[in-house]
Each structure stands twice: as structure tokens, then as C-alpha cells.
Structure 1
Amino acid sequence: MKNIISLFYKNLFLTNRLFAALACSVVLFLFDFFFPWMGIIPELVFWALIVLVIIDMLLLYKPAKGVFARRHAPERLSNSDNNELGVYIENLYTFNVSVGIIDEIPFQFQKRDVWFKTALEPRERKLINYILRPTRRGEYEFGDIRVYVKSPLGLIRRRYNFDQAETLPVYPSFLQMRKYELMAISNRLTDIGIKKMRRIGHSLEFEQVKTYVTGDDYRTINWKATARQGNLMVNSYTDEKSQHVYSIIDKSRAMKMPFEGLSLLDYAINASLVLSNVALLKEDKAGLITISEKLGAVVPADRRPAHLNKILEVLYKEKTRYLETDMEMLYATIRKVIKQRSLVVFFTNFESLNALQRQLPFLRRIAKYHLLLVVFFENTELKTLSEMPAADVEGIYIKTIAEKFAYDKKLIVKELSRHGIQSILSAPQNLTVNTINRYLEIKAKQKI
């Protein structure tokens, strides 16, 4: 009995309307002191208010279960994307109610305003949708759903607590991966910045002999087949398949730097996931290596249907470390794991030319055996500083230093090119598009 009374008081909340009515009652009692002719009017008003409060309590507390609520959430959330969640609410009362809903979202979002207000007619159901954008991978713990119900009288609120505690994993951006996949299937990649690359010559992978139609390259005419058939026949070629594409992700402290809530490592992970998916759609084999001061995950190149999920599960767990990358170990791993010439996309970051010089000998060794593409990041904050006009001497110093760092990035690109190493210098938000563009360009030019 004691627990029931305790729960009753814990879930009972007074509204502003009740406080306003009590204030009016107090004012009437004050007026009664100065104007005796008011008689028992203040008392009548007060007791009428008490009766209304009791009626309101009976309306809200008579049914054991007046409303029902549950959370609609996906099995996993996509990092750096807008994920849609919802709260299903159903009114089991026989009268109209107004409700306020609090969904206890994970602390990582640092939001205290997830409050939804709505009105429900008897037996009405609603689904209230909202958006969450996580910026870190890992497990996110959701709490209960709390619903505050108010009757048409609106003097008190009754709180309902629904146990909806659950833990949802936040994976690398699989929503972005699906978007690029759908664009690739429907040949609409140009809508999101993916360029169509003009093919130089034709692929060496033979597909079939077909009848000549206007527009076919006359250099591909098969004269023997033409003589047999009596019609012009041409050889048809297709893109070379089963080429190996490896994403190598640097997990050292250089990738800890944040941009727009995400670390450089998260940008690299999202881009490598999309690249792997596009490579599999092109019928190439995708692989993955993660590295820091010690070797991380190694996923040999493959193109089986479940291979992308394997890469996704590996990327989900990766975190930045605080020491420099062991490039000698990376070179030894590449020589051991990658047995044929492949496209090796190395996601890393260089802030100065000296940082590149320390790794350049190993990059040159890798480039001897594979087509190496080094992907590193443009410091957009410094670029913004270098473009701002200087207002004083301190501003001139800051602008000069920012310009020097930006110039160093361009020198890094030239230095890599001088040693025959391809590179991409990209702003973090454009990393995925720029990486896919370069992969398609390399495929079109048959450089692998």
C-alpha cells in the first residue's frame, strides 16, 4: 500500500493552470478582507477548485493504463548521418488528452530538449518522428519513455513510465554507402559530384563478338568473324574485373583531429566503406588494413556477398591511438598480404613536409609494387584563417602562419608526384566524392 501511495505522488504533477486558479482564489480571499459583501464567494471558489482537482485525478487515475508508448528505432545507427527514430503513442482514455513525451536519448548527444507535445482523441494513435545525428561510433544507451498526460480540465498531469531501455550500435556511415550504391546502380552518380571519366582506348578484357552498329569503334572489327558471317562483326570489351582495391587506414594521432564533430579517422572510415562498396559493384575485390604503432585489422581482398558486412564490422571497432604509425610494419604487411599488383588507397594525414619525409622511403617502396594513392586532409580551419583579412599585427602573424601551412600541403602533393605517387588533398566533407572520382579515373585509364 505504501508503495502504491509513493508511486501515486511520484507520478502526480501540478500544472500552471492549477497554480493560476489557486492564485485567483488567494486574490478573492484578499478582496474579501476589504469587501465584506463578497461573503462566502471566495470559499465557494476554493472548494469548487478542490472538487475539480479530485475529478481530474479520478479521470486520469481511474484506468490502470490510460496511454501506451514505445520507441521505433532501427537496429543500428549510421555515424555522421541523420537517423530517423520515432515514438508511437496511443490514447486508451475515453476522452481527449494532451500529452508531453520525453524520450531519454543517449548522453552522447548532449540534448535536454527532446520533448514532444501532441493532442490525442479517444483511441487515437500517432507516430512522432525525430532525427538524431551521432558523431562517434560505439554503443549508445537509450533510456525510458516518459509520457505526461493532461485531461481537458488540465489541472494536474499523470506521468506514465515505459521501460524502453535499449542499446543501439553506431556503425560507420552505411546510409551514405547505400546512397552511393543506389546512385551507381541507377547511373546517377553525377548528381552527387561523381564525374564521368572518358575512357582512354578500350579495356583488354574480352566480352563477346557482336554485330557492328553505328557508333562502334571500327578498330575493333573482327575480320575473321566478319568473313564467316557475311556481316561486319566487332569485338566487345568490358571493364577489367577482379582487380584488388585495398583501403589502408592510419589510426595514429594524426587522425585524431576533429572537423564538424567527426575525427579524421571517422571521415576516412566512411570513405573507405563507400569505396569498398563501389569496388564490389564494379566486380573488383575489396580489402582493408588498419595500422598505427602496431598492426590492426587485416581483411584480405574478396568480393563474396557477405564481404562488405565483414569490413563494416571491422571498421565499427576501430579507434585512434596516440603514437605514430609504424611504416616499416605497414610495408612488411603489404608485402605479406597483397600478392598481386593492386590499388592501395592510404588514408592518412600530413601537417608538414617534415612529416611526409619521415614516411616517404616506405611509401616509395610500396609504390614499386602497387599503384599507391595517398589520401590526406586539407585543414579547412587554417584555410579560412588564411583567407580572412588581417586587422592588426597579430592578425598578420596568424594569417602568415596559416598560409605557410596551406602552402606546405601543396608542397606535399608535389613531392609525392615527383616520386610517382598519386595523391588526393581533400577537405574532410568532400573526401568520399573525391576518392570515388579518383578510383573511377584509375579504372577508366586502366592503371592498375
Structure 2
Amino acid sequence: MNKSWKNLLERFLFLDKGVVPTWRLIFAFILLSVFLILVGNHLTWATIIVMNVLFLLLSILDLWLSPRKKDVTITRTIPTEMERGIDYSVTIHVANPSPYDMVVEVKDGIPQSFHRPFPLKAVVPKESEKVFTYQTKAPIRGHYFIEKLFVRYSSKLGLWQKQMACQLKEQIKVIPDMTQSKNYLANAQKYLLHEGVQIKKQIQGVGEFAKIRSYVVGDDPRKINWRQTAKLREVMTNEYEPEHGKYVTILIDCGRMMGAELKNGNRLEKSLEAALTVATAALHKGDYVAVLAFSKKVKVFIPPAKGMAHLQTILQAIYSLEVDASESNYAEAFQYLQLVQKKRSLLLLFSDVTSFLHEENALIYLKRIRQRHLFLLIGIEDEALLKIAREDSSDVEKAMGKSVAQQQLVFKKRQKHRWEKQGLLMVEAREEQLATAAVSYYIDTINKGLL
């Protein structure tokens, strides 16, 4: 009996096929039943039977006046690649070549994690077409499959609904938000740390001579062109094109601590977005970029290559990375890096600074790596910890929390100083400034000719 009730209930859901009564039919039947109960004593059995037959014929007529399933054609247009958290338009095209109008209800079979503004409803007149458009966005990266699109439709009376599931299979890749990378390509100046100040990048490398220009504060005095200065009675300096073909290796930590939730996503999400922005900047400048992702073991390694086409190679390799439940094994990652990266390179490690500072074994490998490579650890500030450390000590509990937070900050500061004395730099930035800080450090390193 329970199974029968369950099957009956499922008829009201969006299923592959079948015909279901609408609430309008149920309400009409209830009204007819109440009417017959109230006045049944004054009616003959023949009249009651005729009224029920007429009601049944009316409902059958309504079913007859709705289009046949084979007459309804449905197609969907959806992006095959979407950026996380960005709105995209999806269009559903419904064609009704039949001689009957129909009221359509559409529910797309997109993943449950996507934004789902369903059902979509509209009237599709006879021998016409209707285009449904809805906005959706994906909050979680990954590879998704869409198999079906569910449709219900009825005639204008709306007593019965026919339902069907269209096999419209699609594959969707949800990649990291590329807004930062696009913004860099549009205006690299925004990625200098001096926000709000339009600072012209001073090229101080030892590349080929480019031009002579006016000296500005911050230029290398050694590049002053004294002959042109005397001739023009204005301090002039030589400008050189930076050397291209440098190597940048991006390391992405996928360990447990990278799953800490932030305002918009988690640490891994923001690290991926920042890593792709650095890769965009380096490839745009003609440098070689390699990427290594790891947690307990090395998960992904993309060998160094240059050219903007390499950005797609990187993107397709890392877009589905997830946070692992295990702790990060920095030593294994650095050991692997020593085997695969022989060229002098700028190493950018996106990780949790606090976790990294407790890894004594990593320091051994980093000392060896530092002999050949430049190293920067870049992480996201713990805003919750900073907030607690700045709170007023209005009661004992808050005072204890503030004391613990301040102790952690002091420990972190001392450890960072200790590592920096070994030439291993560490930077923490707010989540919205992570890409800015990473790209600024890269630009500064290249312009100073440190590689």
C-alpha cells in the first residue's frame, strides 16, 4: 500500500513520461462532489450519472486538445565552460507545430549545486515557438554532466498535464573565476601594490636598449644618460626592455588547511585564481610557466612552456583540483621539484603560512632550493585571528581569546623573520588582494633582473 501511494505521489513530480492531473482538475472534482452531496437528495440518479459523465468527457476533451508529445520539439543552448560564481544565460527553445495552444512548464536537469530558477512557465501558441532564457551560476568547480530536460504542458483549460523528459546530454566544465586574469590583460597597472597611484613600471633589466626618456623618481641612477642630459639640460635615463624567457614555477597547496572557508569560496579557490593570474602575467610577458599542485603527494605537474596557449593547458589541468583531507607534504613536493625543475626559477608557493611555519623538514629542502631558485610563500591573512587580536578586552573570555590570538601572531612574526633570514620570503594578503600581491611580486622580480 505504501508503495502504491509512493507511485501515486511520484506522478506529480517531473518524470520521464505520463499524464498527471492538475490541481485545477482536483479542485473542480472536489467542487462537483460537494455540490452533489449538498443537492443530491433533490437529483435523480440519472442526473448525477450524466453530470459525472459530462465532467469526465470535459477532462478527456481537455487532454485531447493538448499537443501530442511527438509534435513538441525542444532544444537547449548552454555554455560548455563556465567560470565559478559568474552568471551565464541558458536558452531553451520550444517549438509547437500542432494546431493547439499549450501551457508549458520547463525544469532543466542542471546539477543541484547550480542556481536553479525553476520551473519556467509560458504559453506557446499553436504553430509557433517560444524561447525560455534563465540565468544560472555554478558555485563549485568541476566536471558536470547534464542528461535530461523535463517538460510539462497542457491545453488552456489546464485539467491534465502531459510530461516528458528530453534526452539533451551536455558536459560542462566549471573553471576558476578568471576575472582577475582578464583585468590584468586589460590593465596591468592595477596589479601594482601601490593602489590608487598610477606608477609607471621602471624597467631596470639588462635586456636590449629600448629608448631614452625623462628621469623620474625611482629610476636607477646608473642608467642616467649624461650626454643627453647635458644636451637637453634635463636629466634623461636609458630604458631597457626586460629580458624574456625567464622561468616561473607556481606551487599550489591542496592540503586540508586550504579548505578553510572565506567570504567567497575557500583558500584553494582564491589560490587558484591568483595562480592563474600570475600565469597570465608571465605568459603575456613571454616567460616560461610551470605548475605543480600537491597535498600528501604530487597531484599535477605541468612542465614549463611559454605562449598564451599554455594558459589553456594549465587551466584544463588544474580546474578540477579539490582540497584533500590529508595534511600537505611539503618535503615531497620540494623533492619532486628538484628533479623536474633544473632551470633557475621564481618559485611562488600558494599555501597556508601558519601550517607551513610548523614544517621543519621543509626548511632543509628549501635551503637547497634557495641556492638555485628565488622563493616566495604567499598566503591569505587570517582575518578572524586579526579581528580577535584587535578586540577590546571587555570580559575575561574575550581577554583570554585576545591573548591567545596575539601569541599566535607573535609566533608567526618570529618564524617569518627566521625564514626570511634564510632568503625565503613570506607574504600574507587579504583574499581580495592575493592575486594583486602575487603579480606585483613577479613584476618587481622581473624588472629588477633578479632572475
What TM bracket, shorter-length normalisation? 0.7 to 0.9
Contact 1:97-1:152 at 8 Å conserved across structures = yes
The percentage of aligned residue pairs carrying the same residue is 21
Matches of 2:357 and 2:246, distance apart in 1: 34
Matches of 1:65 and 1:396, distance apart in 2: 72
Counterparts of 1:116-195 in structure 2, within 5 Å, are: 116-122=120-126, 123-137=128-142, 139-171=143-175, 173=176, 176-177=177-178, 179-187=179-187, 190=190, 195=195
What corresponds to 1:202 in structure 2? 204
Q: CA RMSD in A?
A: 4.1
Letter aligned with residue 153 of structure 2: V
Relative to 1, partners in 2 of residues 1:191 and 1:311: Cα closer, same or farther, differing over 3 Å?
A: closer
If the length of structure 2 is used for normalisation, what is the TM-score?
0.78
Relative to 1, partners in 2 of residues 1:188 and 1:307: Cα closer, same or farther, differing over 3 Å?
A: closer
SS at match of 1:369: coil
1:152 offset after TM fit, Å? 1.2
1:162 offset after TM fit, Å? 0.3
Relative to 1, partners in 2 of residues 1:199 and 1:66: Cα closer, same or farther, differing over 3 Å?
A: same
What corresponds to 1:3 in structure 2? none
SS at match of 2:131: strand
Letter aligned with residue 123 of structure 2: A
Unmatched runs of 5 consecutive residues or more in structure 1: 1-5, 228-232
Contact 2:115-2:137 at 8 Å conserved across structures = no
Query: How many residue pairs were aligned?
Result: 428
SS at match of 1:372: strand
What corresponds to 1:374 in structure 2? 377
Contact 2:17-2:165 at 8 Å conserved across structures = no
Point out the more displaced range, 124-133 or 155-164: 124-133
Unmatched runs of 5 consecutive residues or more in structure 2: 1-10
Relative to 1, partners in 2 of residues 1:163 and 1:275: Cα closer, same or farther, differing over 3 Å?
A: same
Matches of 1:187 and 1:264, distance apart in 2: 25
Q: Which of residues 40, 50, 53 is equivalent to 2:59?
A: 53
Letter aligned with residue 347 of structure 1: F
Q: Which of residues 288, 302, 305 is equivalent to 1:302?
A: 305
Relative to 1, partners in 2 of residues 1:353 and 1:342: Cα closer, same or farther, differing over 3 Å?
A: closer
1:15 aligns with 2:19: no
Counterparts of 1:18-417 in structure 2, within 5 Å, are: 18-33=25-40, 36=42, 46-61=52-67, 63-107=68-112, 109=113, 114-122=118-126, 123-137=128-142, 139-171=143-175, 173=176, 176-177=177-178, 179-187=179-187, 190=190, 195=195, 197-200=199-202, 202-208=204-210, 221=225, 236-259=239-262, 262-316=265-319, 318-351=321-354, 355-383=358-386, 393-394=396-397, 396-417=399-420
Q: What CA deviation, in whole Å up to 9, does each residue of 1:250-285 have, x standing for no partner?
A: 233333434457443333233212211121112221
Relative to 1, partners in 2 of residues 1:38 and 1:341: Cα closer, same or farther, differing over 3 Å?
A: same
Q: What CA deviation, in whole Å up to 9, does each residue of 1:87-129 have, x standing for no partner?
A: 333333434432211112224x187764222233331220322
1:53 offset after TM fit, Å? 0.9
Letter aligned with residue 202 of structure 1: Q
Matches of 1:18 and 1:412, distance apart in 2: 73
1:142 offset after TM fit, Å? 1.7
Matches of 2:426 and 2:260, distance apart in 1: 20
Point out the more displaced range, 263-272 or 156-165: 263-272
Matches of 1:213 and 1:197, distance apart in 2: 15
Matches of 1:159 and 1:319, distance apart in 2: 38
Q: What CA deviation, in whole Å up to 9, does each residue of 1:163-185 have, x standing for no partner?
A: 123343333x1xx33x3444334
Matches of 2:408 and 2:189, distance apart in 1: 33
Relative to 1, partners in 2 of residues 1:77 and 1:408: Cα closer, same or farther, differing over 3 Å?
A: farther
Relative to 1, partners in 2 of residues 1:322 and 1:161: Cα closer, same or farther, differing over 3 Å?
A: closer
Relative to 1, partners in 2 of residues 1:117 and 1:398: Cα closer, same or farther, differing over 3 Å?
A: farther
Q: What CA deviation, in whole Å up to 9, does each residue of 1:420-445 have, x standing for no partner?
A: 33222134454223322332333344
Letter aligned with residue 23 of structure 1: I
Point out the more displaced range, 430-439 or 320-329: 320-329
Matches of 1:387 and 1:234, distance apart in 2: 47
Letter aligned with residue 75 of structure 1: T
Relative to 1, partners in 2 of residues 1:187 and 1:265: Cα closer, same or farther, differing over 3 Å?
A: closer
Matches of 1:193 and 1:144, distance apart in 2: 48
Contact 2:80-2:171 at 8 Å conserved across structures = no
If the length of structure 1 is used for normalisation, what is the TM-score?
0.79
Matches of 2:79 and 2:293, distance apart in 1: 28
Matches of 2:18 and 2:192, distance apart in 1: 51
1:403 offset after TM fit, Å? 4.8
Matches of 1:69 and 1:403, distance apart in 2: 62
Matches of 2:125 and 2:322, distance apart in 1: 49
1:381 offset after TM fit, Å? 4.2
